[in-house]
Every structure is written in structure tokens, then in C-alpha cells.
Copies of this chain bind each other. A is one copy, B any other.
Amino acid sequence: MLLVVISSVSPHPHHLFEYDELSQYVDSHQEEYVQTLRDWVAVESDSSDVLRRPDCHRMMDMTAEKLQAIGGKVELVDIGVQELPDGKTVALPKVVTAQFGSDPSKQTVCVYGHVDVQPAKLEDGWATEPYNLTDINGHLYGRGASDNKAPVLAWIHTVEAYQALSIDLPVNVKFIIEGMEETGSNGLDAMIVAQKGTFFSDVDYIIISDCGWLSRRPALTYGTRGNCYFFAEVEGPKQDLHSGVYGGTVIEPMTDLIGILGGFLTSLSDRIGKILIPGIREAVAPLSDEEWKMYQDIEFDIESFKSKIGVSQLMYSNKVDLLAHRWRYPTVTIHGIEGAFSGPGSKTVIPAKVIAKFSIRQVPNMDPAVVKKQVTDYLYSVFAKRKSPNKLKVTMIIGAKPWLADTKHPLYEAGKAAVKRVFDVEPDLIREGGTIPIAKTFEDVTGKSIIMMPIGGFDDGLHSQNEKMSRYNYIEGTKLFIAYLHEVAHLKKD
């Protein structure tokens, strides 16, 4: 082993680092890593569907077993129950914590990740079975492959590689892995608060690897949007009715719902999805000159972005506007309607109860609690004007805050060095339009610094059909984490 160590030429002369040996170990275990990912993807851990809750529980068990198998001190933490819209409750997936090393002279990092996934069905337009990981030209297609199962596994492989080669972990490593991220990390906030003085007491930094690069260039992420997810339910007759027999006599819930949705996000002759609910746009932090300049410098190819998603025209035609509206302005999306006819073909039904699902992405300085009140007040007031006998119920089922880090922090300097070692380039410093709800909580509760270190590709199709993780990102990403632990070891303790 000594020979290998000597042959490794570290770009950091102040400490010895067996990077090449660890890197070769990772390369030679690629097939095993892919198989483990396949086993994990096979579990349909869709946290949004309560009928899939047993799969979510199983996924947490598998995560705990895997961490235990490599010698971690593992706990499955009960975080209570979830209250459903109908008032019933269902057990939340337990949170898995693990600890590797407790040397007080070392830094301690805590890796956060999640192993629940978004819904996926073959008939949504997947080219392969979403829960059967399928390798096509080095791309591993499967729901949850990139978001977030492979990154969680890459962190596990990182610890495993150090151990397999009997190389001391340069830092103490903790894990906190949850199973409710895709629906707003229900129950995790309280758990973090509860364990602030115990599990988190010796944690120096929190690392999140739950997003993707902006281009082919590796990136570090310093901000995410939050998300407020709403159900607007309009309930009318006690059951669906024949539209021929009853049309003209019944005040139809769909008419009410489309009526209130049509008005709240955009004027009808305006394609821009501006949120017209009073107070929302006013809360947003203005774009500073510094930010504007920073966005100017980021490499972002609008044409390739357009061609990747297959549109001829975007909401904005210049880079700064596009990045700004992707990262630091709110946006509203209507995801769909539950309860109405959604199959192929035709059905002449008046749906009795319809539930619109829409969400508003949160940015500094918006506050989910305020947004909840703004949206519900607005919808109830618009609905009241219709004088409909149907019943409207507006519920905010997710209220996740945005998060923003200081890119001058040493954690980010360490990140740049690790990227440089593995990929031999400077990373882009980017924000994320999506939400990692727990980042803000970690920051507020533990007071620790956070870095987001993505390994997903820019075209992984998170939440979409044909989500994938490339072998390249999975394997080189594992090496990035290996290198990062080494860099963090040499930061001055906070």
C-alpha cells in the first residue's frame, strides 16, 4: 500500500492523500454500485402516495441495513405520523441516522439525503419501466436514480472505499437520510429540533447532494427555491353525473375550479405566468447589481437548454432573465386536477369533486406562512363572488422555505478544490430552481454551514419521465465526495 501512496501526486502538498488508490477502488467496483442502485430503484418509495407507504418503510430499512453493513452506528428514528386531508393519520417513514467515527480532533460532516421518490408510471411516457433500472449507453434510467438514490449511495460508497482500503476517514461522517423529501420533509423539522443538542451537537458542516449541474461543467449550489404546494378542492353533487342528463341544472364543480384558477395566475390574454395574487410579487428581494453581474458570467447555453426540453421559445430570451426567473423569482405551476376525467377517450361526466394541485416556488424574502394566507384568502374571496353552492376547500400541504448560502465560505473553497482535483475545472456557482426543503431548517436550527454539492447531470430529468443517472456522474461523483472529505479535513474548525 505504501507504494501506492507514494505514487499519488497530491495537488495539496501540505498533506498526504491516497486519492489514486481510492479512485481505482471506485472504478473497479462500478458494477457492484450499479447493482445496488438497481436494488434501491426497484423499491417504489413514492412518498406522495399513502398506498406506497409500506415501500417507503422498506426503503428506510434497506438504507439502515446498508449503513450498518459498512460499520456505521445506525438508528431508525421514529418521527411520528402524517395527517391526511381527510383527518386520518399514517406513520411517517422513519429517519435513518448513522455515524462513522467520533474523533473529537477531526471535523464532523453530516450528509443529508433522501430515498423517497416522485410518482412514475410507464404510461406517463417512460421508455423503460421506471422502477427497473435500465442501462442505455451508460445512462441508468429509473425513477429516483438521480433524485436522490445514487447520490446517497455515492456517499455510502465513499465511506466504504476508505474503509475497504483501511484508510482512516479524514473526518467523522454522519448521515441523516429521510423518506418524505418529495412531499415537503414532513416530520423532519421537529426531529432536527429535537436532536439539535445530541446528534447535531458535534456536526461542523452539513452536505447536501440533491440536485444537478447546470451544464456539463460540475457545479456547487448556493441557493434553492422553496415551495408552497396547494390543493384547491371544489365539491358539488354527491357523485359524478351524466353531463347530458344533468348539464344545465347543476352548478358544476369544474366550472367553478377552472374559473378561480383561470384568474389567479395570469390575465387571460397573457402567456406569462405572473402571479396576480396580491402581495406575493411585492415580497420578493430585488435583484442586486452584483447578482446581475454574477449571472452574466455563468456558462449557460440557451439554445441547448431549449433543445433539451424541446421548446421553440422560452419565457425570456436573455440569460440573466432566464437564470433569475429560474432561481430567484417565484413561479406558479398548475400540476393537474384530481377527480376529473383524465383517461384517454371521451367520457360525458360532470365530476362531483375536483381537486386542483398547484404550487408556488418560494424565494427570499417570501414566507410560506404568509403565502398560505395570501393564496387561501384570495381563492376564497374569488370563489365567494361566484355565489356557488359548491364547497371550496384550500389546503397548503407543503410549505418549504427557500435557502441561500454564502459562496465565500471556506466550505465552498474546499468544494472548488475537490472539483478541481477530480474534474480539473473550476465549478460553476449556481442556484437551484427546485426545493430542498430541509436546507433552511438545518441552517436555522443547527446554525451550521451548509454546502450543496450536486453530482446529477443537467439532463437527468428529475421528476420527469425517463429520469436517469449517468454512470459517469455516479462514479466520478463518488470520487468527488472522496476528495471533498479530504479537503474538509483541512479546514479550520468553525
Residues on A facing B (Cβ under 8 Å): 46, 48-50, 118-119, 124-125, 182-183, 212, 225, 227, 229, 236-252, 254-256, 258-263, 265-266, 268-273, 305, 309-316, 322, 325-326, 329-352, 357, 359, 361, 382, 385-390, 397-398, 432-435, 461-466
Given contacts A238-B310, A259-B271, A336-B351, 19 further A-B contacts (CB under 8 A): A125-B352, A227-B244, A229-B348, A245-B326, A245-B463, A247-B273, A248-B433, A249-B305, A249-B315, A251-B272, A251-B273, A270-B386, A333-B350, A337-B340, A340-B342, A346-B398, A348-B463, A349-B463, A349-B464
Assess whether B48 is in contact with A345, with CB atoms less than 8 Å apart.
yes
The contact sample of 28 A-B pairs, CB cut-off 8 A, is A48-B347, A50-B345, A125-B239, A125-B352, A183-B345, A239-B461, A240-B463, A242-B434, A244-B361, A244-B463, A246-B433, A247-B331, A251-B272, A251-B273, A251-B313, A254-B335, A255-B271, A255-B333, A259-B270, A261-B262, A262-B262, A269-B385, A311-B390, A333-B348, A333-B350, A335-B350, A339-B342, A348-B463
Assess whether A341 is in contact with B333, with CB atoms less than 8 Å apart.
no
Instruction: Give the interface centre of A268, A269, A332, A346 by most chain B CB atoms within 10 Å.
Output: A346
Assess whether A463 is in contact with B347, with CB atoms less than 8 Å apart.
yes
Choose among B250, B254, B336 the residue that contacts A342 (Cβ–Cβ < 8 A). Answer: B336
Give chain B nearest CB distance to A340 CB in angstroms. Answer: 3
Chain B residues with CB under 8 Å of A388's CB are 271
Assess whether B310 is in contact with A245, with CB atoms less than 8 Å apart.
no
Chain B residues with CB under 8 Å of A332's CB are 247
Bound form: Cα–Cα A260–B341 in Å: 19
Closest 10 CB pairs of A and B: A262-B262, A238-B310, A244-B434, A336-B340, A48-B345, A336-B341, A313-B389, A342-B342, A248-B325, A247-B331
Assess whether A183 is in contact with B269, with CB atoms less than 8 Å apart.
no
Bound form: Cα–Cα A255–B331 in Å: 12
Give chain B nearest CB distance to A108 CB in angstroms. Answer: 30
